[in-house]
Chains A and B, each alone.
Chain A
Amino acid sequence: MPQIFRNASGGQIDRSKLLRFTFDGKDYTGYRGDTLASALLANGRRLVARSFKYHRPRGIISAGVEEPNALVELRTGARREPNTRATTVELFDGLEASSQNRWPSLKFDILSANQIVAPFLSAGFYYKTFKWPPSFWEPVYEKIIRRAAGLGRVAERADPDTYEKANAHCDLLVIGSGPAGLAAALTAARAGARVIIADEGSRFGGALLSERVAIDDKNGDAWTDAAIAELESMPQVRMFARTTVFGRYDAGTYGLIERVADHFPEPPAHTPRQILWRVFAKRSILAAGAIERPIVFGDNDRPGVMMAGAARAYANRYAVQAGKKVVVCGNSDDVARTVSDLGAVGAKVVAVVDTRADAHTADVGRPIYRNSVVRRALGGQYVQAAEIGEVGSGISTENVECDAIVVSGGWSPNINVATHLGQRPTYNPEVVGFTMPEKLGEMTVAGAANGVYDTAGCLQAGERAATVALSALGMTPKDAVVARDIDEGPHGNLEAFFHVTGAEGKCFVDFQNDVTDKDLKLAVKEGYDSAEHAKRYTTFGMATDQGKTGSLNGAAILADALNATIADVGVTTARPPYTPVALGAWGGHAVGAEFMPTRRTPMHAWHEEHGAVFVEAGLWYRPAYYLRSGEKDWLEASDREVLATRGSVGICDVSTLGKIDVQGSDAGVFLNKLYINGWTKLPVGKARYGLMLREDGMVMDDGTTSRLAEDHYIMTTTTANAAGVMAHMEYCHQVIWPELDVQYVSVTEQWAQMAIAGPKSRDVLSRIVDDFDISNEAFPFMGAAELTILGGMPARLFRISFSGELAYELAVPADYGIEAWKGVMAAGAPYQITPYGLEALGAMRIEKGHAAGQELDGRTTADDLGLGGMMSKAKDFVGKTLSGRPGLVDPMRPKMVGLRPTDTTQRVNAGAHLLPHGAEKVIANDQGWISSAAHSPVLDSWIGLGFVKNGRNRLGERLLAVDFVRGREYEVELVSPHMVDPKGEKLHA
């Protein structure tokens, strides 16, 4: 299809590079340098979307990020991306785009019947209508609303592209690369400042690319190109094209999204699709330009209605005619500039409509309607005529046939990013717009973003803003950005005009959210009379729009309805992101298995090679069990591992336990502060079980700590709490007891550690220790020693037990871990040494009644766990006083007990609640809960640990376990938690 709206010459497109693309399956062509929007317009494609609520036909109204209508889906399959603005999509060969929010087709959309019932879809419609009955919400209302009001469809498969996150630092961040931004960047960079300049466009230059401006006898491009070349040549400057500064955060932090590869069908090899930058800037200059606002008139959303600045951009940059017969309507000298630019690409301007009585457009040579305005766009799916009437008359006097209506209501400074920290803009009647105060922290607003609309003014404003920034940085400007003989078209002489009164048809203020002037007036009538309330009631300025185009028109309409001024009404708060940022970019590389870092023990490879099935324990991967061929499930494997360990010997990787090396002359005193029990009298070469409380009296962590020398202890923590205990120690030392001479550092990573447990464990170890007497007499229960094994390998040995068996923990420097493990396996071969995982470990500790993470849940005291007797009365320790609070010493508190089902075939699950037989199953009758459960192959029954009110005095009682989650009930008997070897004879063997 020929590009019938493309002028034969002009523009900044490369006509030698023909690009093919499809829209809704139809083939089109464009050129390199086009956007999807400019190419669609070149092909005469006007209808590109259906609106959000009413499914009205919509066309392209802008040439930038503010585009509210032309939201399209790009690409297909896993790369399908909804809600992309056609005006910002760089055309590439093979691009597949489609319209959205229409069914079955764009031209015939059944849901456009919404317009017919539109009176019912007014402001607050959802709040008013879908209130009753609640049972209708999910099955009925939500389905209808989703279909009717959804925007595009997300891809249903995982995104195949990669995204990255990165940080950057600079003295000055310049946001926008129009004349103000370029002048600012040049001024600062010439003075030696580290400058980052970012522009959302594919090329730098901003308005210089889309307006006909000649600077210093050159055309605008040449000046721009020279400025860019100079910036590129300076090493202290980083230039980010295709990069949007989407958010301003505190302390000079900015969010930038760089679209590295969006302009390719798919990213080149090793290239991320996008990079999310976090820029730390000492100073910043917002030179983001301005956004043209519409004039609100009847059916102002009809395809063919376009902003005047956009029509000039399409003409000047893309050589595309906004129409063949154009009506130009406005309220400033932009009207004349538009007429001239459109003429230059061969568009015929059939009428000029100016709201000003004294419009300076006498020389344009077309019918001119002064003191007049377009009151309604007539036509069907396209504009066919403009209905014109005098300003304020309330009546239309003439229809002018046309295929496009080009409108300018003036420009609104693009202050969006400047407001993200909560600073409020104020209404500036000189500018006819909202501008930011001068004091804005590290930011200065310059150029059109500050209401300066002529090129010379923008160049000066950029230079001045950079000078302010340099002075704050303690630097001085060197070479001025000398200009300038500037030749640009007429502009200015604006007379405020926001909306037509009494027009027929729907008058849109917010195109994207389908909000009309009537909606705003209704909101006021119904009491939502502040801008922020009206926003929420009508959805005006919400979603990705954030009030970019129509916010001032909306404020003017609200002001009228309230008999107030625009300054009184104000504008709603714009929030980051300025334009949408893909969630993938926020994730960066942190997706899938590496969402968080993972941790592997030194013996991980051995476990993998021997059938381990891993479970995540925090960040760690730990063997849950080792599945042997012929075993049907984890239970069979775990039972085998328990029986082998209790029957002979097992080995378990416990490297993940937290290990903290504690030294210094006050090391023992420090441990006395941390633990509820005493440490200064622990003999060298001995280990002791310790329990730590939080200051509120609840248990924080437990573990064994050993004394290796007078001033040297090695502490162990649970795997889960290792980092928390370390931070707690640092707090206690640095903040509370800084006078203590104590040094501590995590050595979790330095040591590979393995538990060797079972009646044959001593026999196994005796075969690998070098010159070390491991007999019960020489190395009794709770012994701790440094030694060597396997002919010289340094090691530490602790005779401690979690399983309740005769057991040891052996630690070696981590790089030797796998060799030591293999050494133990070889020495244990005659005893059928069996590796066991977390399931077996858990079963054995539950059999023994040892508390673990499920019991140390932050709500239990030492006494709840049966360990109250450990609390020293002779010393102060963290949590001592508050653990004496009445609620924590109440004997009726739930205490830890063992639980056995009376029917031993019943499975026990953690999480069930315990109630008396026959009691109503309500929380008031709750007696406690099951915290841990396991299958005990030794007892041939499921068993559990739990907490029962006054439980220690209720052993033998039977309660009903009620498991609402699994829909099960079964009877359990309260027993001592020490369910296997209650006297601990095996430990001391």
Chain B
Amino acid sequence: MPEAHSSSATRALPWSRTLRSGRFGNTGNPGLLLVRPLRDVASLAVIARKSGPPKTIAGLAPPEVGRLTEAEGVRVAADGPGQWRIITQTRSSQELFSQVRDEVGATASVIDQSHGWATIEISGMTAPDVLAKGSSIDFHLSQFAPGSSTPTSIHHMAVHLCCIDDTPTYTAQVFRSMTGSFATWLKESAATFGFEVEDA
């Protein structure tokens, strides 16, 4: 892929038309959910080749299925057997792509998905209850603990989830075209607990 030369183009935020910032729903509830759409996320799919798997991905040991590793703002999460995704806001997608492609060489194929996967953070003590309205995963913190990552589906949408701390906070990646439906689902499911959408 040719390097982009300081394009004047700015990346649109796929959530901008579907998630206004502000407080919504049952805002008197102490378990207010925080919803944070993430802007300018760089995200890659890394798939092991026959000559793989890669020894490192973005400098990190590739996590086992169901897990994630993270350092200095770069997260590598397992997507399935021999497949990972990188999520970071610390560099541009082109920069990340070139770096990882060089790093893994012939051990893996690398595909830029920065624009295809829209990312959102969901945080708060009611977050597991909200997610349980969509997915059959057991979100109890003893089961889907910080450091867990998995693909699942919510209301017929493919969603990749990472549990990143014990607040708990989750990142969800959904297909860009479905941000409207995912946001609608999230707003309807979180209304009973109350939620605050932060500025991206």
Q: Do chains A and B touch in the complex (CB under 8 A)?
A: yes
Residues of A within 8 A of B (CB): 162, 164-169, 194, 269-272, 278, 280, 589-590, 594, 596-602, 605, 620, 655, 661, 663-665, 741, 743, 745, 747-751, 770, 786-788, 790-794, 813-820
Given A589-B185, A600-B177, A743-B109: A792 and B132 interface contact (C-beta under 8 Å): no
Nearest chain B CB to A276's CB is how many angstroms away?
10
Not counting A600-B180, A794-B1, A819-B12, a sample of 6 additional A-B residue pairs whose C-beta atoms are within 8 angstroms of each other reads A167-B136, A599-B178, A664-B49, A750-B111, A792-B6, A793-B4
Could you show 24 A-B contacts with beta carbons less than 8 Å apart?
A: A164-B188, A166-B129, A167-B132, A270-B194, A280-B136, A589-B185, A597-B181, A599-B178, A600-B180, A605-B17, A663-B109, A664-B49, A664-B109, A665-B49, A665-B50, A749-B113, A788-B4, A792-B6, A792-B8, A793-B9, A794-B2, A813-B93, A814-B116, A816-B9
Nearest CB of chain A from residue B107's CB, rounded to whole Å: 11
Q: How far is the CA of A348 from the CA of B61 in the complex (A)?
A: 82
B181 near A814 with CB under 8 A, answer: no
A272 in contact with B192 given A168-B132, A601-B177, A788-B7 (CB within 8 Å):
yes
The CA of A788 and the CA of B1, in the complex, are separated in Å by: 10
Asked if B189 is an interface residue, CB under 8 A from chain A, the answer is: yes
Interface contact B135-A167, CB-CB below 8 Å: yes
Q: Contact check, B192 vs A794: say whether CB atoms are below 8 A apart.
A: no
Q: Which of B8, B135, B137 has the most CB of A within 10 A?
A: B8
Going nearest first, the 8 A-B pairs with the smallest beta carbon separation are A749-B116, A792-B7, A750-B116, A597-B181, A815-B11, A599-B177, A814-B115, A663-B109
Contact A814 B176 (CB under 8 A): yes
Contacts of A820 in B (CB 8 A): 9
Instruction: Among A280, A602, A748, point to the contact of B138 (Cβ < 8 A).
Output: A280
Question: Are A166 and B25 in contact (CB-based, < 8 A)?
Answer: no
Q: B180 to chain A: which residues have CB within 8 Å?
A: 598, 600
B101 CB to closest chain A CB (Å) equals 11
Which residues of the other chain, A, contact B93 by a CB distance below 8 angstroms? Answer: 813
B157 at the interface (CB under 8 A from A): yes
Specify which chain A residues have a CB less than 8 angstroms from the CB of B162 in the assembled complex: none
Which of A594, A598, A750, A790 is in CB contact (< 8 Å) with B115? Answer: A750
Q: Are B113 and A750 in contact (CB under 8 A)?
A: yes
In the complex, the answer to whether B132 meets A597 with C-beta atoms within 8 Å is no
A594 touches B185 (CB 8 A): yes
Measured CA separation A743–B143 after assembly (Å): 31
The answer to whether B170 has its CB under 8 Å from any CB of chain A is no
Residues of B within 8 A of A596 (CB): 156
Any chain A CB within 8 A of the CB of B55? no
Q: What is the bound-complex CA distance between A745 and B109, given in angstroms?
A: 10
How distant is A196 from chain B, measured CB to nearest CB, in Å?
12
Could you tell me the distance between the alpha carbons of A813 and B17 in the complex, rounded to whole angstroms?
18
Q: Which applies to chain B's interface (DSSP): helix, strand, loop or mixed?
A: loop
* Contact B155–A747 (Cβ < 8 Å): no
CA distance A816 to B14 in the complex (A): 11
- CB-CB contacts below 8 Å: B21-55 with A: 25-26, 45, 47-51
A272 to B157, CA, bound (A): 23
The residue in chain B whose Cβ has the minimal distance to the Cβ of A253 is: B136
**Contact call A741/B5, Cβ cutoff below 8 A:** no
- Give every chain A residue within 8 A of B184 (Cβ-Cβ): 589, 594
A602 to B133, CA, bound (A): 28
- Residue of chain A at shortest CB distance from B25: A270
B191 within 8 A of A: yes
- Per the 8 Å Cβ criterion, residues 77-121 of B in contact with A are 93-94, 108-109, 111-117
In the assembled complex, the CB of A652 is this many whole angstroms from the nearest CB of chain B, namely: 17
Question: B5 touching A791 by the CB < 8 A rule?
Answer: yes
Q: Which of B114-148 contact A (CB under 8 A)?
A: 114-117, 129, 132-133, 135-138, 140, 143
Closest residue to A596 on the B side, CB-wise? B156
In angstroms, Cα B112 to Cα A663, docked, is 13
CB <8 Å contact, B7 and A791: yes
Point out the residues of chain A lying under 8 angstroms from B114, CB to CB: 750, 813, 815
User: Complex Cα distance A200/B131, Å?
Assistant: 25
Q: Write out the residue numbers on chain A whose beta carbons fall within 8 Å of the beta carbon of B14.
A: 602, 814-815
A238 to chain B, nearest CB (A): 10
Tell me the smallest distance from the CB of B39 to a CB of chain A, in Å.
Answer: 10
Q: Cα distance A819–B12 when bound, in Å? A: 9
Taking CB atoms, residues of chain B closer than 8 Å to A665 are 49-50
Known: A166-B133, A665-B49, A745-B45. A787 touches B2 (CB 8 A): yes
B45, B140, B188: the one contacting A162 at CB < 8 Å is B188
- Chain B residues lying within 8 Å of A741, measured Cβ to Cβ, are 49-51
Contacts of B17 in A (CB 8 A): 605
Distance A661 CA – B135 CA, assembled complex (angstroms) = 28
Taking a contact as CB atoms under 8 Å apart, the answer to whether B111 and A661 are in contact is yes
Bound state CA distance, A269 and B24, in angstroms? 11
Shortest distance in angstroms between B25's beta carbon and chain A's nearest beta carbon? 5
Given A599-B177, A663-B109, A745-B111, are A817 and B12 neighbors across the interface (CB < 8 Å)? yes
Q: Which residue of A lies closest to B182 (CB)?
A: A597
Q: Are A597 and B157 in contact (CB under 8 A)?
A: yes
B155 near A597 with CB under 8 A, answer: yes
Query: In the complex the two chains form, is B192's CB within 8 Å of A271's CB?
Result: yes
Q: Which residues of A lie under 8 Å from residue B2 when comparing CB positions?
A: 786-788, 794
Alpha-carbon separation in the docked complex, A655 to B115 (Å): 13
Q: Give CA–CA (A280, B138) in the complex, Å.
A: 9
Q: Is the CB of A815 within 8 A of B12?
A: yes
Please determine whether A745 and B26 come into contact, CB atoms closer than 8 angstroms.
no
Tell me which of A162, A594, A745 has the highest count of chain B C-beta atoms within 10 A of its own C-beta. A745
B176 contacts A749, C-beta separation under 8 Å: yes
Residues on B with beta carbons closer than 8 Å to the beta carbon of A272:
192
Q: Which B residues lie within 8 Å of A269 (CB)?
A: 26
Give the residue name and chain of the A residue nearest to B117 (CB). A749
Name the distance in Å between A796's Cβ and chain B's nearest Cβ.
Answer: 9
Contact between B156 and A743 (Cβ–Cβ < 8 Å)? no
Q: CA of A793 to CA of B9 in the docked complex: distance in angstroms?
A: 7
**B residues within 8 A CB of A664?**
49-50, 109
Chain A residues whose CB sits within 8 angstroms of the CB of B132 once the complex forms? 166-168
Binary per-residue interface labels of chain B (148-190) against chain A in the complex, 1 for a CB within 8 Å, 0 otherwise: 0000000111000000000000000001111011101100110
* A residues in contact with B51, CB < 8 Å: 741
Looking at A164, A590, A750, which has the most chain B CB atoms within 10 Å of its CB? Answer: A750
CA distance A620 to B177 in the complex (A): 8
B157: chain A residues at CB < 8 Å are 597
Q: In the complex the two chains form, what is the Cα distance from A635 to B66 in whole Å?
A: 53
Q: How far is the CA of A223 from the CA of B172 in the complex (A)?
A: 46
- How far does the Cβ of B126 sit from chain A's closest Cβ, in whole Å? 12
Also in contact, A597 and B26, with CB within 8 A (given A167-B133, A664-B109): no
User: Which residues of the partner chain A approach B26 to less than 8 Å between Cβ atoms?
Assistant: 269-271
B180 vs chain A, min Cβ distance (A): 6
Q: B175: which A residues are within 8 A, CB to CB?
A: 599, 748-749
CA distance A745 to B85 in the complex (A): 12
Cα distance, A664 to B49, chains bound together (Å)? 7
By the criterion CB–CB under 8 Å, are B177 and A590 in contact? no
A786-B49 in contact (CB<8A)? no
A167-B133, A589-B155 known; A816-B8 Cβ under 8 A: no
| Distance to closest chain A CB from B111 (angstroms) | 5
Contact pick for A594, options B9, B140, B181, CB 8 Å: B181
Complex Cα gap A166–B133 (Å):
4
Contacts of B9 in A (CB 8 A): 790, 792-793, 816, 819-820
Q: Which residues of A contact B112 (CB under 8 A)?
A: 750, 813
Chain B residues with CB below 8 A from A786, complex form:
1-2
Q: A663-B109, A792-B4, A816-B9 are in contact. Are A270 and B191 (CB under 8 A)?
A: yes
In the assembled complex, the Cα of A594 lies from the Cα of B155 at a distance in Å of 9
Q: Please measure, in the bound complex, the distance between the C-alpha atom of A711 and the C-alpha atom of B143, giving whole angstroms.
A: 40
Please name all residues of chain A whose beta carbon is closer than 8 Å to the beta carbon of B191 when the two chains form the complex: 270
Given the interface pairs A194-B140, A816-B9, the reply to whether A794 lies near B4 with Cβ below 8 Å is yes
Q: Which residue of A lies closest to B133 (CB)?
A: A166
Q: How many Å lie between the Cα of A665 and that of B116 in the bound state?
A: 25
Q: Which residue of B lies closest to A194 (CB)?
A: B140
State the Cβ distance, B161 to closest chain A Cβ, in Å: 14
Q: Which A residue's beta carbon lies closest to that of B18?
A: A600
